[in-house]
Amino acid sequence: MEKLTEIQALLKKSDSKLFTAELEFENKRYDDSVSRSYYAVFHAISALLLSKNLTFSSHGQTIGAFNREFIKTGLFPKEFNNFIHALFEDRQIGDYDAMSEIDSETAEKNLHYAKTIIQAVKIYFKQ
């Protein structure tokens, strides 16, 4: 697949996941909302990395490369590192911890993080 086409596909998938995260939040399915918020961001940062010809097989590698290539270089604010780690950790809880439940405040915070990061990614690609 041509790189530009793949970047566009990742950004479209990011938008779709964010839309689903909002629907799940509205329907009080907070675990699913958090999971979709995380994946919305994951696809957006994967698109950024692909724009630099970087692809990775694990989530940890992808997040680490985003920090190295885009946060440490000052292209994105340092707080995005905290946002992404919170998204990742909350997704782990929501998806895999049967004894825990994500509450509405956590899901809303994650939606805010996802929207903030995705908006910044879109601005980056428009430059």
Calculate what percentage of the chain has a pLDDT beyond 70.
Answer: 99
- Per-residue confidence (pLDDT) for residue 1, from 0 to 100: 61
pLDDT at 99 over 90: no
- Per-residue confidence (pLDDT) for residue 108, from 0 to 100: 98
Domains and CATH numbers, the chain: 3-126 (1.20.120.330)
| Amino acid letter for position 107 | A
pLDDT at 118 over 80: yes
- Is 35:95 a contact under the CB 8 Å cutoff? yes
- Per-residue confidence (pLDDT) for residue 29, from 0 to 100: 96
pLDDT tens-digit profile of 55-68?
999 999 999 999 99
pLDDT tens-digit profile of 30-46?
999 999 999 999 999 99
Mean of pLDDT values over 87-98: 90
Tokens representing 95 are 């998806």
Helix or strand run (H / E) with residue 121: helix 104-126
3-state DSSP helix/strand/coil percent for the chain, to nearest 5?
Answer: 80, 0, 20
Its pTM stands at: 0.94
> Residue 111 — pLDDT band, cuts 50, 70, 90?
very high
Give the C-alpha separation, 15 to 8, whole Å: 11
